[in-house]
Amino acid sequence: MKIQDDLLEDLMARAEADKTGALITLIQILIEDSAKAAEVGMTLEELAAICTAGHFLGKNPDYIKALEYIMQRGSGDSDTEH
C-alpha cells in the first residue's frame, strides 16, 4: 500500500530500512499518543507545539537542563521562591 503523502512515504521507507526497529516503534508511539491527545481535546497546533519543543530539546541537549530547572520550579519540591 502506498501512502498518498511523499513525506510519510519516505519516513515509512526509512522505518522499514531501520534494522533496529526503533524508528517504526517510535512512529507507532507517536501515532497512538497523538490520537490520545486528540481524544483529550488538544488541538493539532498544540500537539505540534509540544512535538516541536521536544524535537528542539532532542537536537539541543543543553536546553534539557533549563527545562529540568523550570519543571523543578513548578513541582513544589524546589527551594526556589516563586
Using a cut of 0.75, tell me whether the model's pTM lies above it.
no
Sign of torsion over alpha carbons 42, 47, 49, 51: positive
pLDDT for 16 equals 96
pLDDT for 82 equals 47
- List, run by run, the mean pLDDT of 10-residue segments along the chain (82 residues): 84 96 97 98 96 91 84 68 50
pLDDT for 12 equals 94
Q: Where are the domains of the chain?
A: 1-40, 43-82
pLDDT for 79 equals 55
pLDDT for 69 equals 85
Q: Cα 33 vs. chain centroid, distance in angstroms?
A: 9
Q: How far apart are CA 16 and CA 34, in angstroms?
A: 21
